[in-house]
Chains A and B, each alone.
Chain A
Amino acid sequence: MKLAQLLVLPAALLSAVLAIPEYSEHLHLRPLPNGYLYAGFNFTASTSLSAYESQHFRYFPRSLGQILQHSGTRELHLRFALGRWDDESWGSRPRDGKREGGTGVEIWAWLDSGGGKPAVEERWSSLVNSLSGLFCASLNFIDRTKTTRPVLSFEPEGTHRGGGGGMELLHGTLPHEVVCTENLTPYLKLLPCKGKAGISSLLDGHKVFDANWQTMSIDVRPVCHVGEECRLEIQQTVDIVLDIERSMRPRNDPIPRPRPVEELECDESKSYHASDSCYPRRKEGEMAWSLSKIFGTPVRGSCHVADGDECPDVSLEISPDRAVEVLHSGSNETLMSHAQNQRLRVYRLSDSGKYTDISLTQQIIQEAPHQEQPPLYASRQITGFGQERGGMHAVLHNPHTYPQRIVYLESLPWFLRPYMHTLKVLSHPTTSHDQPATPVKPDKMFYTPALDRKRGTHLELLLTIPAQSTVELTYDFDKAILRYTEYPPDANRGFDVAPAIIRVLPLNSNSTAGNGKTQDSYLRTTSLLLPLPTPDFSMPYNVIILTSTVIALGFGSIFNLLVRRFVLAEEVPRSALAVRVAGVMGKVRGWVRSLKGRMRGGGEGGGRAVGGAGEATGGAGGMNGISGVAESRKER
């Protein structure tokens, strides 16, 4: 069962029968291999554009709506993400990766482009600063160095007046941002039931941020259906992958402790199994779990606030053989089960019930769980050693039997200086190893080089990845040294580099119909940690003093040599002033002595005055080189 189809399903079903409800919510649960559980929450609210423009809000959050109006935002996509989706074992990403963000915070928006570039930058700044306040995130740090303008990677999802003209796309990332409870609380406040009732009551910070992978998204876009008024839709999704065993840790003992030896489940078939070593046994069958144990609480009530909301609230994608028990405190009447697809069971929360819980028992099921293969596997690493330079190495693996066209987007911080002339794209077939790597020429390349402290690098490549082959993308970069005051307090931790975003373009419908997807999908690599050279932060005074001394010594000695005339000691003429001073001093001394003699009462030795002053001639000049003296004398 394709996840994308599944998520479209409730909406598609109902839109045929009824008008779209103004608010609906949905939780999709799917166990993943090795004891993981995927839970995808989806909350969709909408309002008509006329009501939005006249500031009449019902289910659409007013706080967000006013920010969007003030900053002239036509379409907004905001992501908070944590962890890594393990696509080797979990398969393809939920919602085709369209509601997923790179580690940290990611935001992209289409803004009114009226007023030229400065006006757009002003609006963007106002948008990120307001959202920063609304979501308690450091979005205000998305400045010009972290903003890029991608060309190929994103397309507006909504229907815009004038075919999408008059608006501009800006994209910013904060890979260093740690997403946590303080972001979830304002996120839940945007919902009509504020996380108090309905499926949103399951969202508790302790569980959401304990997940192996989680992403929260907010997407605002105008949606127009033929013959209806355009509506502004806000879709909020929370996708999490929980470790079932860890999540079911009892609440009264939340501290992780090593398990007692008796409780360890070891694989005794391994040759190295011994009394002191244990290889964990691969889990067999499906684990037992229930909503209340995993999320710490059952679903409280329901949140059926909008008229015409007949959508199912919870869907379970499990093997048809598994037994599911639904416990609820109210009547059973509104619980509906869908039989359209064997693997999918759909439930609607009862309006009268107080609590609803779904629990599954442990079962060993022979049928291997179906995993949809992701369109592409991608990973990215930093290569090289030392603090001066390094290299980027991205590996894109196409497991399918048809070639795929992708857009590869990287936005790098300015202190990572890539050398694009070293960019190499090589393709190896995965089927045979003896074939040499062949260079792949990018179909298109968009490159905006970084400007120090003003702009980050933006690199976008349109590539074709041949069938069943691996494409390696490498380039060199230099690590810049920042100024003393530009380093953060934890400078030696390294600097985060935003994940690369890969958009897998849909295949042409006429070429290989039915083989590939008809819609594009996204995937992101993990973020990177870039160690930059750090100065010795305790040294500035020493450095300043030492360097100033060196310069002063250099200047002083050169100045000394420049202003001094070099002559032999004996040919220094006595200056007139010195002679006069010596004369005066001699007189004074003679007068003092004669005074003394007179005081002693005798005329003896009265006139022994000696003109002894001014004997130092030439001073320091006499010390200097004799060869210079010889030359300067010849000059005349």
Chain B
Amino acid sequence: METLTKVCRDQPKHVLFTAAATIRILAVLLFPALPDILTLRAELSTPVNSFKRLQEGLFLYERGLDPYDGGIFHQAPLLLPLFALLPSSSLWLGRLVSILLYTGLDLLTADCLYQIAESGVAHTSRLYTSPRKDRAWTSLSVAAVHLLNPFTIMTCLARPTSVFTTLFTILGISHACQARATTAAFAVAIASHTSLHPVMLLPPIGLLCYDRMCAQSADETNTSEANGAAPEPMKTKFAVDQRSQPKPIRFGLQFAATCIAAEAFLFGLSRLILPSWRFIPSIYMTLLELPDLTPNAGLWWYFFIEMFDAFRSFFLGVFWLHMLSYSVPFCLRFQKQPLAAVVLMMGIIAVFEPYANAGDAGAWLSCLCLLGHLFERKYVL
């Protein structure tokens, strides 16, 4: 008992992660039918991320057919060889293995969130430090909110492939917080390869990464003054920065180019395992044109099942423009707090995306906890 409390005190992160994994595995072992029931729920599985549709795509892929030559499968091709390695999910072993995989993904996502919270970017950026810095949530509680959120747990059991998108988006943010531009761009490219919208996160994540890079180069030049928060050192720092900082336009171009190169690489890799390029329209036109009107929890579905044909393309354009229109204004407005821009953009995507699902909403709620110091609250976590 004492050792247990000691472990709890000394290694809270390990305890949390073990508890989260145990909940997920116990849920499968105690209720073996639960994953299949949740997989069929419209709130969790949409036409572009459903695990059942993935199985159908896998069925066609394993028989050498083009899985995109049909109206059912619209998910990223690189998932196919990955899931082909797992045992068939109609057996209990396969189900357990898939749950273990998704638990691993959840833990990785939580770890990335932990690191983002640890980096303190949420309240301290290069140009701005929040006066509520002390009220920021601990990294552990941010990770706990993610791991113990019922949305996340249900999503883990329902196994939609959008979990991969979430993981790579948050991985991208975490790398941006560590000023690793190349890996951040690569992670965002993977996320937008699996589903289109993380492309809209590119400007805010680029801004975040640029902010961190500037801060880092400033730190390097002023290591002696790193602890000083007085106005004079700030001024000198600013002066030094002007010379050693990376150029914003050059950085932006480099970041975008890395992302495009990574995307091209992923497309090439996908083409290698598939017989044709048909997967590009199958994945991205499904997101752009909303041809599959299977019910989901989003606004788009509700709107477009009753839309007159003549106005359909007009409103599709309006809805997409509406979503696109937030990305750059957020970057301009939250120039000094780039993480806030990223989190808000994720919120816009979770609410207004064409095939909205609970998993994306859950991931956004977890990210929102990174900005926990802004909430008015009585108690301290």
Q: Which residues of A contact B (CB under 8 A)?
A: 388-389, 414, 417, 419-421, 447, 449-453, 478, 480-485, 533, 535, 539-540, 543-544, 547, 550-551, 554-555, 558, 562, 627, 630-631, 634-635
Interface set, chain B 131-190, CB cutoff 8 A to A:
131-132
CA distance A135 to B226 in the complex (A): 90
Interface mask (B280-295 → A, CB under 8 Å = 1, otherwise 0): 0000000000011111
Q: Within 8 Å CB of A481, what residues of B? A: 293-295, 305
Known: A414-B71, A635-B336. A547 touches B302 (CB 8 A): yes
- Is the CB of B307 closer than 8 A to any CB of chain A? yes
Number of A-B contacts (CB under 8 A): 98
- Cβ A535 vs Cβ B299 within 8 A: no
* Nearest 6 pairs of A and B residues by beta carbon: A449-B70, A421-B59, A540-B306, A481-B293, A452-B71, A547-B303
B56:A547 contact, CB within 8 angstroms: no
Kindly state the separation between the CA atoms of A550 and B300 in the bound complex, as whole angstroms: 12
A109 to chain B, nearest CB (A): 25
Q: Is the CB of A449 within 8 A of B72?
A: yes
A residues in contact with B52, CB < 8 Å: 419
CB closest chain-A residue, reference B300: A547
Cα–Cα, bound, A540→B312 (Å):
13
Output the least CB separation between A422 and chain B (Å): 8
- CB-based contact B291/A449 at 8 Å: no
What 8 additional pairs, Cβ within 8 angstroms, besides A451-B71, A540-B308, A631-B132?
A419-B72, A449-B60, A480-B293, A483-B293, A483-B309, A543-B306, A544-B303, A547-B303
Contact partners of B374 in chain A: CB under 8 A: 627
Structural contact, B294 and A478, CB atoms closer than 8 A: yes
* B379 in the interface (beta carbon within 8 A): no
Least CB separation from A539: chain B residue: B306
Q: Is B31 engaged at the interface, CB distance under 8 Å to the other chain?
A: no
Taking the nearest CB of chain B, how far is it from the CB of A73, in angstroms? 28
How many angstroms between the C-alpha atoms of A480 and B47 in the bound complex?
A: 11
Number of interface residues of B (CB under 8 A): 46
B40: chain A residues within 8 A (beta carbon):
388-389
**A419-B56, A451-B70, A543-B306 given as contacts; is B295 within 8 A of A635 (CB)?**
no
Q: Which residues of B contact A453 (CB under 8 A)?
A: 291
Q: Is B350 an interface residue (CB 8 A)?
A: no
B130 A484 Cβ-Cβ under 8 A: no
Nearest to B326 among chain A residues (CB) is: A558
Would you give the shortest CB distance from A271 to chain B, in whole angstroms? Answer: 46
Q: Is the CB of A449 within 8 A of B305?
A: no
Q: What are 24 of the A-B contact pairs (CB < 8 Å)?
A: A388-B40, A388-B42, A419-B52, A419-B55, A419-B56, A447-B65, A450-B71, A451-B69, A480-B292, A480-B293, A481-B294, A482-B293, A483-B293, A483-B305, A485-B308, A485-B309, A540-B306, A543-B302, A562-B329, A562-B333, A627-B376, A631-B130, A631-B131, A634-B128
Pairwise interchain contact B69-A555, C-beta atoms closer than 8 A: no
Please tell me which one of the listed residues A449, A452, A547, A634 contacts residue B131 in the complex, with CB atoms under 8 A apart. Answer: A634
A417 touches B308 (CB 8 A): no
- Residue B363 CB within 8 A of the other chain: no
Complexed CA–CA distance, A453 and B302 (Å): 20
Q: Across the interface, do A420 and B308 meet the contact criterion of CB distance under 8 Å?
A: no
Chain B residues within 8 Å of A555, by CB: 322
A480 touches B294 (CB 8 A): yes
- In the complex, which residues of chain B have a beta carbon less than 8 angstroms from the beta carbon of A419? 52, 55-56, 72
Q: Smallest Cβ distance from A80 to chain B, in angstroms?
A: 31
Residue B251 lies at the interface, judged by CB distance under 8 Å to chain A? no
Determine the distance from Cα of A533 to Cα of B42 in the docked complex, in whole angstroms: 14
Q: How far is the CB of B58 from chain A (nearest CB, A)?
A: 7
State the Cβ distance, B258 to closest chain A Cβ, in Å.
Answer: 29
For residue A485, which residues in chain B have a CB less than 8 angstroms away from its CB? 308-309
Could you tell me the distance between the alpha carbons of A551 and B348 in the complex, rounded to whole angstroms?
11
Q: How far does the Cβ of B345 sit from chain A's closest Cβ, in whole Å? A: 11
Return the chain B residue nearest A540 by Cβ: B306
B59 touches A484 (CB 8 A): no
Whole-angstrom distance between the alpha carbons of A543 and B40 in the complex? 26
Those of B307-361 within 8 Å (CB) of chain A: 307-309, 312, 319, 322, 326, 329-330, 333, 336, 348, 351-352
Q: B291 — which chain A residues lie within 8 A by C-beta?
A: 452-453
CB nearest neighbor in A for B53: A419
Q: Are the C-beta atoms of A449 and B71 separated by less than 8 Å?
A: yes
A179 CB to nearest chain B CB (Å): 31
Question: Smallest distance from the beta carbon of B234 to chain A beta carbons, Å?
Answer: 13
- Do A630 and B131 form a contact, CB below 8 Å, given A452-B291, A555-B322? yes
In the complex the two chains form, what is the Cα distance from A388 to B303 in whole Å? 19
Cβ contact of B307, chosen from A544, A558, A631, cutoff 8 A = A544
Complex Cα distance, B351 from A550, in Å, reads 11
Q: Kindly list chain A residues whose C-beta atoms are within 8 Å of the C-beta of B127.
A: 635
Complex CA distance for A417 and B326, rounded to whole angstroms = 36
Set of chain A residues within 8 Å of B132, measured between Cβ atoms: 631
**Distance A400 CA – B294 CA, assembled complex (angstroms):** 44
Q: Is the CB of B56 within 8 A of A421?
A: yes
With a CB–CB cut-off of 8 A, which chain B residues contact A543? 302-303, 305-306
Q: Which residues of A contact B312 (CB under 8 A)?
A: 483
Closest B residue to A417 by beta carbon equals B72
- Find out whether the CB atom of B306 lies under 8 angstroms from the CB atom of A544: yes
Q: Which residue of B lies closest to A449 (CB)?
A: B70
Closest A residue to B127 by CB, please name it. Answer: A635
CB distance from A595 to the nearest CB of B (A): 50
Q: CA separation between A478 and B40, bound complex, in Å?
A: 10
Least CB separation from A546: chain B residue: B302
Q: Pick from B42, B55, B70, B326 the residue with the most CB of A within 10 Å.
A: B70
The docked-state distance in angstroms from the alpha carbon of A480 to that of B302 is: 15
**Closest residue to B57 on the A side, CB-wise?**
A421
Q: What's the Cα separation between A208 and B305 when bound, in Å?
A: 43
CB distance from A18 to the nearest CB of B (A): 54
B64 → chain A closest CB, angstroms:
12
Q: How far is the CA of A414 from the CA of B292 in the complex (A)?
A: 11
Report chain A residues within 8 Å CB of B69: 449, 451
Q: CB distance A547 to B299 under 8 Å?
A: yes
Least CB separation from A451: chain B residue: B71
The distance in angstroms between the C-alpha atoms of A388 and B71, with both chains bound, is 16
| Contacts known (A417-B71, A449-B60, A635-B336); A484 close to B305, Cβ less than 8 A | yes
Q: Name which residue of chain A comes closest to B311, CB basis.
A: A544
Of all chain B residues, which has the CB nearest A558?
B326
Residues on the A chain within 8 Å of B352, using CB? 551, 554
Pair A635/B72 contact, Cβ less than 8 Å: no
Q: How far is the CA of A551 from the CA of B321 in the complex (A)?
A: 12
Residues of B within 8 A of A630 (CB): 131
Check if A421 sits within 8 Å of B58, measured CB to CB: yes
Chain A residues whose CB sits within 8 angstroms of the CB of B55 once the complex forms: 419, 421
The minimal Cβ–Cβ distance linking A445 to chain B, given in whole angstroms, is: 8
With both beta carbons as reference points, the residue of chain B lying nearest to A538 in the complex is identified as B306
A554 neighbours in B (Cβ, 8 Å): 351-352
Please name the residue on chain A nearest to B310 by beta carbon.
A485
The closest CB in chain A to the CB of B319 belongs to: A551
